[in-house]
Amino acid sequence: MFNIPTPFEIALLLPAMIIGFTFHELAHAYVAYRLGDSTAARQGRLTVNPIAHIDPIGFLALFLVGFGWAKPVPVNPFNMRGDPQRNMMLVSLAGPAANMVLAFLFAVLLGLGLANLFPYGHEIVNRIIYINIVLAVFNLLPIPPLDGFKILAGLLPPSQANIINTLEQYGLIILLILLFTGVISEILSVIILPVFSLLMDLATGISVGF
């Protein structure tokens, strides 16, 4: 059963959640805009303001049940230049990629000792690194409505992509079953912990160098 974090734990987690969700959704909006679709831009999603990206209910659910969501970025693939399937793959990939870049950058900051410049900085940055890895890996799972499903569809030939797209209507049900049976937790732990350890080793290596 998921344990509700204490107010102190929530305070340490908040920066990680806000940063992770904000830049994940911003990356989706930015890549869509660069490819020619201004739908998200017109709705004010090309911003680092977390209010534009965070869904209050989804954000609260993170702390209550351990599973949450942000506001989906509206995308119209037919406004983009080129192949719509390829473009949707790139837009979908942008969110998890942004989270991994953030995890790497904060690992560098940790190694440089900059996290120690403010109270509980080390603990907060550790959580920023970990949560961004979680967001990246979780969203890369090839299950609708996660980004990984659209990435998989973009990699497949159109005929095969059309076949798996029929699963999209059942995606949320499949996702919830896998979440609450613990299957996804088992899958994620196999990937997330080694990646987190790798970035911690990077931080340690940088700190030794200085």
Listed residue (79, 66, 59, 8) closest to 188, CA to CA: 66
Active site residue 123: no
Per-residue buried b or exposed e for 89-121, using 16+ beta carbons within 10 Å of the residue's own CB: bbbbbbbbbbbbebbbebbebbbeeebeeeeee
- Catalytically annotated residue among 9, 25, 168, 186: 25
On whether the CB atoms of residues 85 and 154 are closer than 8 A, the answer is: yes
Six-digit token string for 9 = 């734990």
Listed residue (25, 78, 33, 28) closest to 52, CA to CA: 25
Q: Measure CA of the first residue to CA of the last residue in the chain; give whole Å.
A: 43
Pairwise CA distance, residues 97 & 94, whole Å: 5
Q: Could you list the active site residues? A: 25
